[in-house]
Every structure is written in C-alpha cells, then in structure tokens.
Amino acid sequence: MLPDSNADWRHIARERPYFGVLSEAAYAEPALSDAQLSQFLDSGQRYVNMVLDQCTRFFGANGQTGSALDFGCGVGRLSLPLARRFGQVTGLDVAPAMLSEARRLAQLADLHNVQWLLADDQLSGVASKKFDFMLSFIVFQHIPEARGQRLLQQLLTHLAPGGMAVFHFKYAQVMPRHPCSTFLSHHVPGGRLLVNALRGKPLKEPHMQMNAYNLNRLVQSFQEAGIQEIHTRLEDHGGHWGVEMYVRRGR
C-alpha cells in the first residue's frame, strides 16, 4: 500500500505542527517561544501582504474584500493575516491538531471572523459557499498529483464570479538530494519502511511528501473552470521548483 498523505499530515500535526507548515529548524519543537512564534506569524503576514499586492498589480484594486478561503491552512499562518483584510475567512485542513492550534492562535490575536473546518476530498464543509478570494501556499506539493488535481477542480467550483485565487504548485525538482529514496517512499508499496530502516528511523515514521505537478494539466483545469487569465511567479525552495499561479474568474 502506498503512503496516505492525509495520515502523514495528521501525524506531523500532532508531533511538530509548526515545522509541518515551515520546515525550518527554528520551528522544529512542538511549542515555540514567544519570539519564535512572533517570527513565524510575521512571515505569514509578509507573505499575505506580498500576495495581495501582486493581485492588485495583476488584476486591479477590486476583489480584496468579502470572503476568503485558505486551503491547507495548518495553524493559520496565512489565515490570520487574511482575517485582517477580509470580512470572513475559512481555514480548511485535514489535521484536527492543526485546526485546534489555529483556533488558539486566532483567540490570542482577537480575530473572530475565521471559521476552521476539517477538509475532505469533496470539500463538504464548504459545499454551498462561494469565495471572493482563495489562497493555497506550499500545500498541494504534499498531496499526490492525481488527487490534488481533483481537489483543485473542486476548489474552482467555489470561486465566486470575479473572484481571485492564488495557488502554489511544485512542478520540478533539480539536484535532488535523495532521488532513489524519494521514489521508493512515494511510489513503491512498502518502500517507506525500507527507507526508514536504512536511515535508522522508526519504520512507520511519516515522510513529508513533495509531489510535482504537470503544468499542462493545471492550465487545462483552470481553462475548463472558466479561468481566462493567469499570472505566474516562479520560486525555488532548495531545489524544489515551484510556481504561484494567480487567476481570476470572469464576472
């Protein structure tokens, strides 16, 4: 049986929630110091500010109000800054431990316009909702491509007329550190057990998947959903090449 990315994420959320969101040594502990937490949250605020500035540059000043969705919200690093800009924000995540910590941080920040919901592949928690803005950053890369493509198609049905969305995808890996172990872990039944054994780790320790997406399929999904305008920004996260795709639905 191949690894279950949802089960991996729930395990990471219980053990190291902040590291699961930002894989940096400063956030490796289950709980952060006040200084570390401030640094972590500030990084989210800076990112949201940048994204919304880019949206204004690409699409004009309209659209940064109303309702927003943060898909794969984790502990709310991006949801909380969004809540300072939008009237209502929904954070979706598959890990209850992430959502629990996000609720705690929202209370500390005195932000009460965020709804935290458990995600499933049907997006049943937001079945009847439309959003003016959607954001998903460094999330899809942890989801196998075929499933992620289906989730993207589902998400786009919830983008309101005139709404904007920003999605991040990994599309290539250059100079991989461990190409054989990555292939074994992600694609070979039982391969994860072997990789963990070779590394001297507990056999069932989860891996943080890093899945690449086919850009042609992504563009096709956007066009099929009625998206007629896409702007992109390219990124390099330690050899994991990614793209942010800024899209807007017609009115």
Taking only the tens place, the pLDDT of each residue in 169-181 is 999 988 665 656 6
201 part of a folded domain: no
How much is the pLDDT for 182?
61
Tell me the pLDDT of the chain averaged across its residues: 88
178 part of a folded domain: no
188 part of a folded domain: no
Task: Name which of 128, 130, 147 is nearest 139 in CA terms.
Answer: 147
Query: What's the structural domain count of the chain?
Result: 1
How much is the pLDDT for 210?
86
> Cα 159 vs. chain centroid, distance in angstroms?
17
How much is the pLDDT for 25?
85
How much is the pLDDT for 63?
60
204 part of a folded domain: no
* 39 class by beta-carbon count within 10 Å (0-12 exposed, 13-18 middle, 19+ buried): middle
Domain span holding position 45: 5-171+211-249
- Residue 74's CATH number: 3.40.50.150
How much is the pLDDT for 62?
67
186 part of a folded domain: no
**pTM as predicted:** 0.87
How much is the pLDDT for 98?
96
Which portions of the chain are predicted below pLDDT 70? 1-3, 62-64, 175-207
196 part of a folded domain: no
β pairing state of 240-249 and 131-136: unpaired
- Asked whether the beta carbons of 115 and 86 are under 8 A apart, the reply is no
